[in-house]
Amino acid sequence: MNAFHLDPAMKVVVQGATGRMGSRHARLMKDYGTQVVAGTAGVSGRREDIGIPLFDDCAQAVQATGATASITLVPPMDVLGAVTQALDAGIRLIVSPSEGMPVRDALVAVAKVREHGAHWVGPSTPGIAIPGRMKLGFIPDVSLLPGSLGVMSKSGTLSYEVCHRLARRGIGQSAWVGVGGDAAKGMRFAELLPFFHDDADTRAVLVLGEIGGDEEEELAQAMARSCFTKPVFVLLAGASAPEGVTMGHAGAMVHGGTGSMATKTRALRDVGAEVFTSIQALVDGVVASDV
């Protein structure tokens, strides 16, 4: 697989661009500065003018525009088909915001993406962004500010709130990647570490995680192996969650010796990360660090 990277000048296809969400966010992303060069018609087949050329499928869109990235604004049951179509068309960066994608479909999509040497962000992601230059997804503009903090997050709403508070205090982001909270997904925290390590605009990394799963422990292991030297600030949500209560994210399951607040905190602090359990404490910690 090629190294993950974000090109602010990437040309983007919106899959499902004629749907209600697709047409709305195609316009919003284009207005933000993203090079949205094409769309594919959704299942409705509607062809109303949304300000970008429309095609029957990704292959036609890529051939006509040279697009290299896509965002799949389609229902959860259609995500696998959209990802497959994008891969077959030569797309190598796919973003899938849809929530509720079947786990089996997600596992199949992960395997297909790896076979093609591509990158898939999602499902259930708020999107990706290089603030001031491009965004793919639903990240609100009020939370985006150009800066030096690399952001990776499981939760969309939590990242909006944290980054909005930081932006109000003058601290912006170099790049933002929402990996989503599902257990089976395309990109995980550890896979983003080399990108932020090599990115000259990133001086520190902000990780917005939660209890459940082993993604944060996996990130700590990757930090140890790579001797990651940039400051890492982590917010772990769910400190007060009572045992046995179902969390909102599909990946928020504590099992065996991983996934708890204690195991995640210990693993991350052992490799030098600063770990917080409240938004205000995190914001104050990042501001005080003068990154």
CB atoms near residue 104 (< 10 Å): 10
Quick check: 179 and 152 in contact, CB under 8 A?
yes
Q: How many Å apart are CA 69 and CA 96, to the nearest integer? A: 11
Q: Which of 5, 164, 249, 255 is catalytic?
A: 249
Residue 119 bears catalytic tag: no
Question: CA triplet 25, 81, 114: central angle to 5 degrees?
Answer: 100
Instruction: Go through 194-216 and write b for each residue having 16 or more CB atoms within 10 A of its CB, e for each that does not.
Output: ebbbebeebbbbbbbbbbbbbbb
In sequence order, the 6+-apart residues with CB closer than 8 A to the CB of 185 are 106, 110, 120, 122, 123, 124, 125, 179, 251
* Catalytic annotation, residues: 249
